[in-house]
Structure 1
Amino acid sequence: MQLRHLKTFVAVASDLNITRAAERIHLAQSSVSEQIQSLEADLNAPLFDRTGRKLKLTEAGQRLLDHAHDLLARTEEARAAVAAATNTTAGTLAIGGLETLCASYLPPLLAHFGAAHPAVRLQLKSAGSGELRSGVKSGALDISFAFGEPPQTPELKHEVVAEEELVVALPAGHRLAGQVTVGPSDLRTEPFLVTEQGCVYRQMFETAFAQDGIRPRIALELGSIAAIQKLVAEGAGCALIPRVAASGDGRIVTLPWTGDNSQVPVSMIWHGGRGKRPAVRLFLEAARQQFKPGDARPRRATPFR
C-alpha cells in the first residue's frame, strides 16, 4: 500500500467527488482514478460504491478511512523525527482558510514561513467555515483560518489572532456616502444584500442587527461576497462585510460600522492531538507573530486547553 495512493484515497473520501479531489491535490482526474484502482487491487476490496449517481464509501472503504488519517499522521511524525535528528523541520502542512483570507491575509504568512522553513511543503485550500473545521478534525487540514470563533469541541483548539473591522458597503451615489461612519438607525429603511443562511458572512449581519431592534429589509440572498459587491455597485442595496473583503471598485463606498459587534475575530484552528508536530507548532507561532494583515487589529488570546 503506497502512501501517495492512501493520500489520494483520503482526498476522494473527504469530497466523495473525484473532480473536486483531483483539483484539491493537483492531479489529473485520470491519475486519481488510477491510484484508487491500484489501491483497491492492492487491498483486494472495492473502496467506493460507484453504482449510484453519487460516490459512496463501501464498508471496506470506511474501515480504511478510520485508519488512514492515523497512518498518514504517523508518517509525518516519522518525517519530523528524522528532520529533528538533522536539525531541520520538514514535512507537509495543509493550511485552509476562507476565500477572503486566502486572498489577502494568508499569502504574506505563507511566504514568510516558506522562506524560513524551505523543507516544509505548504498546501493552501480555500473552503467554507464548516468544511474547514471538518478538515482539521479529520486530519485533511493541519491548521485553518476563519472569521468568528468556532464552537468548542474536545479535539479542536482555536486562538483569535486578529480582529477585522466591519464596514457597510454602499453605492457611491448613496445618500449616506458622505458620512464618516454609519450605524443601525441610519439603515433601518435600506435594502440589504446578504449571503445564504449558515454562511459566516450572514451570521455577521444577523449578529450586528440583533440587539438594537432594527432589522433592515433583506433584498437578496447571494452565494458570494463578490456577487454581493457587484450588486452594491449597481445600486441594488447595501451590505455589511469585513473591511478586508471590500473590493476596490470605485462605484462602492465603505463606511465603518458603529453598531454593536463592530469587529469580527479571525480565528486560527488546529487539532490538539497534532499540534505538537514541529512544523505545526512552528507555523502556529509564526502566525501569532506575523499575522497582521491589512487594517486588522491583532489580539492575543489564550487557546482552549
Structure 2
Amino acid sequence: MCSTKKQRLAHAILPCNAARTAVKGDTEPAGTLTISAVESLCTYRLSPVLAAYRSRYPDVQLILRTGICATMRREVLGGEVDLAFTLEEPGVDERITFERLLDEPMLILVQPGHPLTRKDAIYPHDLEGETVLLTEPGCRYRSMFETALASAGVQTMTMEFSSVEAIKQCTMAGLGVTLLPEIAVASEVERGMLSVVPWRGPDIPVITQMLWHRDKWMSPALKAFIEMSRELIGPFEESSFAVL
C-alpha cells in the first residue's frame, strides 16, 4: 500500500485524541475535544458555543487553542486538533472539509479625530506614509491588506502585534491605522473610541469557517460541537458601520 493510502487510512481509523476519547454507550458525547480558533473568533464567536456545549455535555473535556490560520490548517492535517475555526477567504484543500458559517465585515480603523476621518473615501494611496498596525504573519486578512497596498505601490510603516486587543488599544492611542474584523471592534466603535474610515480599495472578503480533516472519525463529541456551532453562529446582521 502506498504511503498516501496508509496516511488516509490512519486518519480514518485513528482519530485525533483517539487514546483519550471515550464514548458513553455509542452516542453520548464524552472524552476530550481539542478546538483551535483565531483570537477574534475565540473571543467573540465561540464563547456562547463553548458555554452552551459545556452545559449540555459536561462529560466532554474541552481544550481550546488560539493561533493563526496557516498553523491551524497544519494542525488539522496533522491530527493535533479535532476542529478549527478560521477567519480568512474560503478554503480549498482536498484533504480538509471546509464549512462556511458567515461573512465577517472588515473595517479600517483610526483614532477619533485622525485626518483620515475627514475624507469621504479612502483609497490605498491615502495610506502612503501611515503607520499600519498589523496582526502577526500568517493572518490571511493581513496578507490581503498588504497585497492591496503593495499592488498600489503604497509605502507604509508597520507595527506588528500578536494580540488583537493590543492593536485596538494602540489604535485608540493614535499609533496608526489598522484593519480588524467588525466583531472585534463593534463596542469600541459604538462608544466612539475608534473611528471607521470609508475604504474604497480592493475588497478583503473574509468569512468564518470551520474545518476538519476529511478522513477524520466523527466522534459523538465532535458531531455535537459541529451541530451546536451551526446553530449558534448565525448569519451576521447588517452592519451599522461603514464597512469594506
TM-score class, shorter-chain normalisation, is: 0.7 to 0.9
Distance 1:151-1:265 versus aligned 2 partners, 3 A rule: closer
Give, in angstroms, the shift of residue 296 of structure 1.
8.1
Distance 1:108-1:178 versus aligned 2 partners, 3 A rule: farther
Residue 253 (1) aligns with residue 195 (2): yes
Q: Which amino acid aligns with 1:238?
A: V
Aligned counterpart, 1:244: 183
Larger proportion of helix:
1
Q: Which amino acid aligns with 1:221?
A: M
Distance 2:238 2:87 in 1: 12
Distance 2:14 2:64 in 1: 21
Give, in angstroms, the shift of residue 265 of structure 1.
0.7
Distance 1:228-1:73 versus aligned 2 partners, 3 A rule: closer
Unaligned runs of 5+ in 1: 1-65, 298-305
Aligned counterpart, 2:4: none
Give, in angstroms, the shift of residue 114 of structure 1.
2.0
Aligned counterpart, 1:234: 173
Distance 2:91 2:105 in 1: 22
Q: Which amino acid aligns with 2:178?
A: A
Q: Contact 1:105–1:294 at 8 Å: present in 2 too?
A: no
Give, in angstroms, the shift of residue 124 of structure 1.
0.9
Residue 280 (1) aligns with residue 222 (2): yes
Distance 1:195 1:71 in 2: 32
Distance 1:296 1:276 in 2: 34
Unaligned runs of 5+ in 2: 1-9, 240-244
Give, in angstroms, the shift of residue 110 of structure 1.
1.0
Q: Which amino acid aligns with 1:191?
A: E
From 70, 74, 86, the equivalent of 1:130 is: 70
Distance 1:109-1:275 versus aligned 2 partners, 3 A rule: farther
State the structure with more CA Rg. 1
From 48, 51, 65, the equivalent of 1:108 is: 48
Distance 1:134 1:296 in 2: 33
Aligned counterpart, 2:157: 219
Q: Contact 1:275–1:281 at 8 Å: present in 2 too?
A: no
Q: Contact 1:167–1:241 at 8 Å: present in 2 too?
A: yes
Distance 2:88 2:16 in 1: 30
Distance 1:130 1:153 in 2: 12
Distance 1:266-1:208 versus aligned 2 partners, 3 A rule: farther
| Equivalent residue pairs, number | 224
Q: What is the alpha-carbon root mean square deviation over aligned residues?
A: 3.3
Question: What TM-score, normalized to structure 2?
Answer: 0.75
From 194, 206, 211, the equivalent of 1:269 is: 211
Q: Which amino acid aligns with 2:175?
A: A
**Is the deviation greater in 125-134 or in 163-172?**
125-134
Q: Contact 2:88–2:141 at 8 Å: present in 1 too?
A: no
From 161, 183, 188, the equivalent of 2:101 is: 161
Q: Which amino acid aligns with 1:184?
A: Y
Distance 2:222 2:89 in 1: 20
Give, in angstroms, the shift of residue 142 of structure 1.
0.5
Aligned counterpart, 2:39: 99
Distance 1:141 1:293 in 2: 26
Distance 1:140-1:178 versus aligned 2 partners, 3 A rule: same
Q: Which amino acid aligns with 2:35?
A: I
Residue 289 (1) aligns with residue 243 (2): no
Equivalences for residues 21-36 of structure 1 within 5 A: none
Q: Contact 1:188–1:216 at 8 Å: present in 2 too?
A: yes
Aligned counterpart, 2:58: 118
Q: Contact 1:183–1:259 at 8 Å: present in 2 too?
A: yes
State the SS of the aligned residue for 2:156. Answer: strand
